[in-house]
Every structure is written in structure tokens, then in C-alpha cells.
Chains A and B, each alone.
Chain A
Amino acid sequence: MTSRSLSEDKPIGVIGAGNFGSAVANLLAPHRKVLLYARDENLVKRIAEHGENRGHKMHPNIEPLNDMAYVAQECDIIFPIVPSAHFRSMMKKLSVYLHPYHILIHGTKGFDIQLPEKESIQNTPTLSRSQVKTMSEVIMEESVVVRVGCLAGPNLSKELAAGQPAATVIASQFNEVIQIGKRLLRNDRFQVYGNNDLVGVELAGVLKNIIAIAAGALSGMGYGENAKGLLVSRGMVEMVYLGRALGGNTKAFLGVAGVGDLVTTCNSSLSRNFSVGYRLAQGETLDQILKSTDEIAEGINTVLIAKKCAEYYKVRAPITTTLYKVLFEDLTMKQALQYLMRYPLNVDIDFL
């Protein structure tokens, strides 16, 4: 059938030419033509001229451009990968061009929050689920697209670029989205799993950022592997509790996007969240750290939001709450660690 073969040739859209966006574009490019959207026109020119972006050598199948309408018109399948802070405004622009046949698979690990006008995230006392949204929920709210999925897992852009073995999870309530994701991303060095708990997987991907900061802090204080083992396992428990309060299932946290991603980020000095924790432990303040980086560490916002959600849903989240105090209330990492080591609760696992 002609129409079928035509659409098999349709390009795939990637929105956002950041680090991970470029890596995903490169994963897709061997299978299909990719239209890579970047907000900055100069960046588009640079990528087109040099075939390179943020240290990624871009595949020749990738066409960088600056025209959202064109991306939506040419592509049925789009991967939006932009920081959570800009995600909603990006969706607002994109949604004008979207139709119910579009499939969106996002790769953003962060929350979207909406506050009443006069409040800022700092001074609002608690946050409930009606104000905190995952990216898939933002997509559904802002557009008519319903076939939504997300990409989560231990995917450090640099290792992906180097062609090292890795895996990811495509989560969606629609099997067809999972199948498409698998078909488009899978290769000899990249394994793709499917999961139907979209929100659970998204939450796992977001909440692990908190533990990543804590891991960086432990490393910054010069502690070794015992401490890290302690952190990963207790961090996991905390993620499950928070995740369940926010509408995910326990299972998602035990998979590639949960434990898998957690172990990777806690061991990797490449991750932004990790380095935030590391530098905090070295005695720098949050302001100093923020001034010296250009890419956003999602984890800082995640700590802020998760702490307020924990209070709303009355979930015990000691690691999150102490990190919050370090980031925003002048507690030092040393004191924080002391506090956590004396924390009275010592049941190992009580959620299965």
C-alpha cells in the first residue's frame, strides 16, 4: 500500500538540541531521517555547518531546523526533550500544530508546577498533585495528543555517544507507542524495555535526581562504598514512598528506570545532579554553584517540589527533607549526615 510505505519514510522529530536531545537524535538517525528542532537559530546554523553539537558528532541523517510547524507537519512521531522549566511553554507553542494522530515520547526528567499568581515555589507551604504535573500530563493538558510515552533509564549522554552498551525504558499506556519506541531506538548496543505504568516510570526518573545529589554529597565528603550502598537502598525506599503518594506503582521503581537509573546516577561524576551534591559537600553554597553552570540540574527543583509534596501527603521522606535544609536553609552536609544516621526508623523493607 502506498500510504503505508510513505509514512514509513516519514522523518522523526526531536524537539530540543540539548545534551540528551542530541544523543537521542543520534540514536534515531540510523533508522530514519531526523528533524532536530533548536530554539536558537545560530545553534541550528552551527550544527548544520560543523555537524557537531555539545561534543556529539551529529549523524548525517539529522537535519537541524528552527521551524516547529514544519516538524509537526512532517513527523507523526516526535520526541520532545527540553528542560522541565520550559516544557509547558514549548508545548503551548507546539500544540497548535498537533493532531490526535501524533505520538509524543518525551525524555525530560522533571516536574512542572503551577502556582496561584502571587505565590512562588519557595513560599508556598505544601504542593498537591493538582499543582505538580509530570511531563506526559503537561502534554495531555496542552495538546490533543493522547498517545504519549516517556523515555527513562540510565542514559548518560556521553556514554551513549561513545556507543557503550545501555538500556532504556519506553513507558506508555499504549502498546503501540512502546512498539514504535522499540523499533526506532533499539540497536546492538541499546536495549529497550516497555512498561505500561507511564506515571510510575516518569516519577522514578524524576525522584532519582534527589538521591543523585545525595550521592554526590557523600562522595564530596570523601566517603566510600558502604555509605553509597546505604544511600542507594534507603533512597530507593524513599522514592517508592514518594512515588506511590504521587500516583505511581511500586513496580516501576524496581526496573531499569528506577533502580537502574539510580545506580548509574549515584556512581557517575558525569551527572549534573551528582556534581551539585559534590560541590555542596565541598563547602560551596547553592548560589555559587548555580552561577558557575549553564545547564540546569533538575534535582534542585525536584528536592524543593518533593519536599512540599511529602508534607502535603504526609509521607516520611528524611533524605529529601534534609537535602532541602542543606540547599535552602544553611544546614551543612556534615550536620545533615549526622541527622540521617541518627534517624530512628529502621525497618528495612515494608512496601512489598
Chain B
Amino acid sequence: MEVAEKKNKNKRYKPILDSIPDWPVYQLSKNRKEFLEAVTEHAFRQAKQLRPTTKQLLDELEATVYREQQRMKRNRWRVDPQDEVPFWASVKDELVSLTNKTSDEVQSKADDILYKIIHRYAGEIAGNFKPSSYRFARELVKFWFARLLNGARVKKFGAFFRNKYTLRDKIHIVGKVKQLRKLAKKGTVIMVPTHFSNLDSILIGWVIHSLGLPAFIYGAGLNLFNIKIFAYFMNSLGAYKVDRRKKNLPYLETLKAYSTLAIQKGAHSLFFPGGTRSRSGMIEKQLKLGLLSSTVEAQRNLYLKSQQGETEIRKIFVVPVTLNYHFVLEAPDLIDDYLSVKGQDRYLPEHDKYGSWQLLQFLYKFFSKGSNISVSIGRGLDVLGNYVDDEGNSLDPHNRIINTRDYFVSSDEIVIDKQREDQYTRMLSQKIVTEYHRINRVFASHLVAFVAFEMWQHKHPKLDLFELLRLPEEDLMIPYEEFRMVCKRVRKQIYQLKTEDKVNHATHLKGKIDLVIRHGLENVGIFHLKRPLLFNKEGNIITRDLNTLYYYHNRLVGYDLEKFI
């Protein structure tokens, strides 16, 4: 039985900028060479500031070479450039040859090496936005999605070529859409979504397009570029590459410089501040501060420039977004990773078992069955985490207008203070986390997963998490009536939280609880081989995969709902 989902407004949004040449991301890639020079310069200066003495710089360079060589030995990817082995070998030779030189020579040579490394990294990171392949990719996605959707759903001859359904029927966009469109005209938008699945990148790309916004620049994990389908779309959508294997200082500074300068140039950007996909299935609590700090820095630089009489001030707006799924393709593996790390601290390499074929299969299933996705757009924030109004003015909790510039002022002037800005970045990240929890849309599937797992935990109070997960699945059963009662109680609390503006929920969560439970059970982890939650013949609740159930349950952790079990 289908529970009625309130009809999506299904509106088509007009593009806010007409032609691609006006898009900041296009401007960026047209002047790619100059831009890379600027990034290199900027990162070079930052790195020099952090390693002021020759000794420190040399140590850093040596560490960088060592780590790079280790990485190439242990963990090489298809996307890695062919010439990287000889490149790093030559850098190493140059470093070795410095031993007998005078200190002046060493300093200037070390600077050269640093510059060379940063320049190389900048080239690796930089995206390559081409209007022609952007248009092509966009049409391709639309065309094939439409074919899939209609072929799968309309059971008639020739359905394949019908256009009865579009993506907008499957993906619901809710929240502050209008404000987002306004802000994108007034200033630079930084979209920061939650990250659960590799599909997020494509999904959010589609969302941005369908809201009529110009392409954003993405910070996408380099591992995604190993998958050919992804690589093609990402490249054409203005993605830049973030390689999480590289943790050395020159790389991190280059990455930050790239993001900072692109934002300063007015390119709308998108990155996943959680860093990687949420392994546990929980909404991110700790964000990575590196890229986030580039927004604060960019805003400060813009104010600084305006103080020196340059350009109009573009304000930067941070927009949190949550992606809500019934089903996450990688869930079983993600939760395995999470549990093994939690059980014993060990390094965990990125691995992606899902190639192009699995993705297509998933997409087919996704379109042919009931599972929907919703995307909640949060209210815009300034770089300090204050809400902004539709005109882009920052507001304090009493709705008085704040001048964001004042945050960077000491003694009447804009001042660069790194420690202060680090603190600002932390404040911003805390605010984003709060916003995630607030705009998160609870689905029926989240509710049933949460309730079932908590009830089992409740029945075995002496077991810790790992012992609980080791219980044989056959032994676990919850009588329907009991389950129903608890679901009702927890749902009531979710309503309560919603009135306090602490969470949001899908419209399908309302209505008769029996229907909601059925909807939840039908959808939770819908395409996994082993279903995390289902009815048995007697109509009671059982599980086939407790680990995955734990994963889906985690989505509702952090709201203090455990008390209501």
C-alpha cells in the first residue's frame, strides 16, 4: 500500500543567469592558467609563513617526499598521474644534493622546490569546466534518467519513450529554495551538504541545475574519479579533486588556496564538510575545518580588498543541505568500516566496490520502485553562522542587522588574525551541525529502524554494542503491537521536536501509524540483499542484518529519542 506523499510542487525553476559565459565557474576555467598561478602564489606564501625557517621548510619537504613515496608504494590509484614516480624521485635527488650548500643557496633552492611541488598540486586539484561537455552531460543525465524512469514505471508498450515521469517526481526539494536563488544572485553561495553516499555528488549536481543555479565548483574525493562514469560527469560539472591520501602541508595549503581564491572570485562552491561519507549513518557531528576555513578567509580577504578601495564587496553565504534517503547503497560496507574502526583503531583505506555496472543497476531499481529521496535546503548563514535574510543581511537572534565586516575589525581596521579565524571556523562548523539536525527530514524508514534497534538494545541491557550485534538474527523478534506502541510514542516526540524547530519530517510520517510502519518497513534499506527490517509471517518485526539496521538507526541518534523507547 502506498502512503500518500504530498505532491511535490514540481516546479521548474528558471536559470538565474542566462548564458554559461556569465557563470563564475566558466570564467575560472577560461582563465585556468592565470588562476593556477594565483593559487600557487597564494599557497606558497601561506606555506612559507607556516614554515618560516630554512630548517623547518626542509623538514617539511623531506616529510612530504617520504609520504608521497610511501603512498605510491602502498596505495596507487588509476587516476594518479603517470609521471609521479619520476617526479618525486627527482625532488628527492634535489633535496639530497642540498647537503653541502651554503645556507643562502639552500633557502632559495628549497623555495624553488616548494614552489614546484605546489604548482604540481595545483594542477592536480584544478577542475576543468567545459561548457560543451557540461551541456552534453546535463542532457545525457536528463535523457537517460527520463528513459529509466518511464521505462520502469509505465507498464505500456513504448513506455520507454514516454515523458510521464521526471526526476522531480522522485527527488523532493524542500526548504529555503527561494532564498537560495536570491542569495546566489547577491553573493557567493557555499553549499555544505551532509554526505552519506557516493551518489550524493551527482544528486546535488542535479539539484543545483534544477534550481536554476549556475554550476558550482565541487570538492570531490579523488577516489570517485576512479569510477569512469563519475569521472566524466564530475569533470564536466566543474569538480576539483580532493585527494584524501595526501595530508602533507603543501598539499593542504594548495587545496585551501584553491578554494579560497575560487570563492573570492565569486564561484559558488560546494563541499562536503564532513570530509568523507558518514560511516556510521549518523548525521555529521564533527566537521573538517580545513576547507571550511577557506570561506572565512575568503570573506576576510574580500573585506580587506574593499578597505583598500578595490571592488564591491561580495558577501559569502553558507547554505547547509541535508540529503535524506530510505536507502544508502554502500550502507553495509560503511557500517562495517565504522564498526571495525570503533572496535579497534586501525587505518582504513578507501575502497569502492561499486563500479559503473552496480550503479546502473541501482539506478534502475531506484526508479522502478517506490523509494524517494528528499533534499532539504537550509537557511542561509554568513561565515560566522548568523542567519541571513533574503537580502543577504546578517541577523542576530533578535533580528537586528549585524555588519559582518565588524567581526574582522580590531581598532577600527580589518586585521588578519589566524587564531581568531580558526575560532570563527569552529563556531561556523558547530552552527552547521545544529542546522543539519534541524533541517533533517525524518522518514518512516528512519523511525522504524531507530525504534527496532533501540528496542532490541533495551531488551539486552547488559550487552554492549558489539555483543548485541553478534546476537544471531534468528533470535530477534518484536511483537507487532509492542513495536507499534513505541513507534507511536517516538513519533509523537518527533512532532514535539518539530514544533520546537529542532527537526523536520516527511509528510508521509503523518497519518495512521500502521501505514507509516508499513511504509517504513517497505523502504528501509530497500535494495539490500539482506533486508535490515521486515515482517515475518505472523506480522511481527524481524531483521536479517542487524549491522545494517544499526546503520539506518543511527540517522536519528542525537535527538535524545532513546528515552521514549
Contact surface of A with B, Cβ cutoff 8 Å? 1, 3-4, 6-8, 10, 76, 99-101, 141, 143-144, 146-147, 173-176
Contacts and interface: CB of A to CB of B under 8 A. Distances in A.
A245 to B, nearest CB: 18
B406 A176 contact: no
B449 to A, nearest CB: 28
A86 B31 CA distance: 59
A contacts with B: majority SS: loop
Given A76-B410, A174-B423, 15 more contacts: A3-B412, A4-B411, A4-B412, A7-B412, A99-B402, A100-B402, A100-B403, A101-B406, A144-B386, A144-B396, A144-B402, A146-B424, A146-B427, A175-B419, A175-B420
B105 interface: no
Nearest to B417: A176
Contact of A8 (B384, B404, B411, B420): B411
Contacts of A100: 384, 402-404, 406-407, 409
Interface in B204-220: none
B413 interface: yes
A146 B384 contact: yes
Contact of B403 (A99, A147, A174): A99
Interface residues of B, number: 20
A196 to B, nearest CB: 9
B313 to A, nearest CB: 16
B410 A176 contact: yes
A6, A99, A144, A147 interface centre (most CB from chain B within 10 Å): A144
Interface string B391-431: 00000110000111011011111000101100110010000
B420 A6 contact: no
Contact of A4 (B403, B413, B420): B413
Nearest to B411: A7
Contacts of B402: 99-100, 144
B111 to A, nearest CB: 29
Contacts of B407: 100-101, 146
A9 B236 CA distance: 56
A146 B419 CA distance: 14
A3 B419 contact: no
A13 to B, nearest CB: 15
Contacts of B413: 1, 3-4
Nearest to A180: B410
B423 A173 contact: yes
Contacts of A6: 412
Contacts of A7: 411-412
Contacts of B406: 99-101
Nearest to B402: A144
A176 B419 CA distance: 8
A143 B396 CA distance: 8
Nearest to A6: B412
A1 B411 CA distance: 11
Interface string B360-401: 000000000000000000000000101000000000110000
Contacts of A10: 411
Nearest to B424: A146
Given A144-B402, A146-B384, A174 B419 contact: yes
Chain A to chain B: the 5 pairs with minimum beta-carbon distance, closest first: A7-B411, A100-B406, A101-B409, A100-B407, A101-B406
Contacts of A76: 410-411
11 contacts: A76-B410, A99-B402, A101-B409, A144-B402, A146-B407, A146-B424, A173-B423, A174-B423, A175-B417, A175-B420, A176-B410
Contacts of B409: 100-101
A169 B169 CA distance: 60
Contacts of A101: 406-407, 409-410, 412
A26 B376 CA distance: 55
A1 B414 CA distance: 13
A100 B413 CA distance: 13
B412 A174 contact: no
Nearest to B409: A101
A174 B410 contact: no
A147 B412 contact: no
B386, B410, B411, B412 interface centre (most CB from chain A within 10 Å): B411
Interface in B405-464: 406-407, 409-413, 417, 419-420, 423-424, 427
A106 to B, nearest CB: 18
A137 to B, nearest CB: 13
Nearest to B396: A144
Contacts of B411: 3-4, 7-8, 10, 76
A213 B413 CA distance: 47
A322 B96 CA distance: 69
A144 B406 CA distance: 10
A4 B412 CA distance: 7
Contacts of A4: 411-413
Contacts of A175: 417, 419-420
Contacts of A173: 423
A4 B411 CA distance: 6
A144 B384 CA distance: 11
A145 to B, nearest CB: 10
A6 B412 CA distance: 9
Given A99-B403, A100-B406, A101-B407, A147 B420 contact: yes
Contacts of B417: 175-176
A101 B384 CA distance: 13
A168 B402 CA distance: 33
B85 to A, nearest CB: 43
A141 B419 CA distance: 22
B285 to A, nearest CB: 16
Contacts of B427: 146
B420 A174 contact: yes
Contacts of A141: 397
A141 B407 CA distance: 16
A223 B423 CA distance: 48
Contacts of B424: 146
Nearest to B395: A144
B448 to A, nearest CB: 29
A326 B404 CA distance: 51
A260 B9 CA distance: 64
Contacts of A1: 413
A141, A143, A173 interface centre (most CB from chain B within 10 Å): A173
A216 B419 CA distance: 42
Contacts of B412: 3-4, 6-7, 101
Contacts of A8: 411
Contacts of B404: 100
A304 B396 CA distance: 33
